[in-house]
Amino acid sequence: MRRVLSVLAGLMAAAWSWEAYKAAGNPEGTVLFGVRVLPRADDLSMPHLWTIVQRLAGPETTGGRPVWLVVLDACLFTLGVTAAGFAAGSVVGLILAAAMQRFRIVERGLLPYVILSQTVPLVALAPLIAGWGGTLMPAWATVAVIAAYLAFFPVAVGMLRGLQSPSASGVELMRSYAAGWWRTLVKLRLPAALPYLFPALRLAGAAAVVGAVVGEISTGTRGGIGRLIIEYSREATSDPAKVYTAMLGAALLGLLVAGAVSLLELPLMRHRRHVEVVTL
């Protein structure tokens, strides 16, 4: 209950500061030494919240479906893509982490590339992966691949730290029981890794959303919120509120995924103490 209230309060504060800036800010923006330090507050750049709400209720184009329904549909599509990417990325991340924990040589050989993988710009990657659409997999799945590509990284790195976290005495105890690698993994390492895993999953959830939205924008894949953002932003000149409806949708999607991921940990983390975790 308190959580819900605090979320609502946060939303109210955000809405209030938007309108407050509109009221107090310079409509032409604030320019210091030729650099714009504060954005314009006029209706073209920052439409009133009620204009955006009105736009949500209005039809997309004459006679079309209402905007809120279109945005919701797009969010659901992207949610599906994000979920697929998140699941695939997490599984890949977990497998990589286990392999790196098991074989030191794999860790040495692979970890630099895992880190390197995140420095490859999506701009270069997206068109390549988009090319798989329609032949290897449906178009939406290529976006899920991009989401998974961003999502696997925090899981792999975080989980590796977690699997390596048990103390030497714990590991030695397991060895004295003649427990093999698998049994040690299940009985000792996995439980110990949970506090590392969940923050990693939260990062992965956020990364999957970003990956899905950016992937859609980049490859122009139809149906999702990313595609809607670029399509609506083309109308920014004549219908500025419309862009914000799509952005609201994207923000909502991010919150939803973050919430869903934190729900994952409820059953597993109830009696565990939270540990300060720094990934990487």
Partner 1 sequence: MKISRILLASVLALTACGTADTPTTPAPGAGGALTPVKVQLQWVYQAQFAGYMAARDQGYYSEQGLDVSLLEGGVDIVPQTALAQGRADYAIAWVPKALASREQGAGITDVGQIFARSGTYQVAWKDSGITKAADLAGKKVGNWGFGNEYELFAGMTKAGIDPGKDVTLVQQQFDMQALLKREIDAAQAMSYNEYAQLLEAKNPATGQLYTADDFAVIDWKTEGSSMLQDAVWANTEKLGDPAYQQQTVKFLTATIKGWAFCRDNAEKCRDLVVASGSKLGRSHQLWQMNEVNKLIWPAAGAGIGVIDEAAWKQTVDISMTTKNQTGDTVLTKAPEGLAYTNDYINQAIAQARAAGVDVTGTAFRPVTVTLAEGGS
Q: Find all residues with CB under 8 Å of 197, minimum gap 6, and list them.
A: 155, 158, 159, 162
Q: Which stretch binds partner 1 (CB under 8 A): 78-86, 147-155, 221-229, 251-259?
A: 221-229
Q: Least separation, in Å, of the C-beta of 204 and partner 1?
A: 23
What track of x and - describes contact with partner 1 for positions 140 through 179 (by CB under 8 A)? ----------------------------------------
Q: In this chain, which of 221, 244, 250, 261 binds partner 1, going by CB under 8 A? A: 221
What track of x and - describes contact with partner 1 for positions 103 through 142 (by CB under 8 A)? -------------------xx--xx--xx--x--------
The reply to whether 78 sits near partner 1 by the rule CB under 8 A is: no
Q: Least separation, in Å, of the C-beta of 49 and partner 1?
A: 19
Restricted to residues 232-251, the positions that interact with partner 1 (CB under 8 A) are 232-240, 242
CB nearer partner 1, residue 129 or residue 197: 129
Q: Least separation, in Å, of the C-beta of 236 and partner 1?
A: 4
Q: Least separation, in Å, of the C-beta of 65 and partner 1?
A: 11
CB nearer partner 1, residue 63 or residue 267: 63
Restricted to residues 8-67, the positions that interact with partner 1 (CB under 8 A) are 40, 42-45, 60-62
Q: In this chain, which of 14, 222, 272, 275 binds partner 1, going by CB under 8 A? A: 222
Distances (CA, A) of 89 to 44, 95, 199, 240: 40, 10, 15, 36
Provide the sign of the torsion angle of the four alpha carbons 125, 127, 128, 129, taken in this order: positive
Chain positions contacting partner 1, by CB under 8 A: 40, 42-45, 60-62, 122-123, 126-127, 130-131, 134, 216-222, 227-228, 230-240, 242
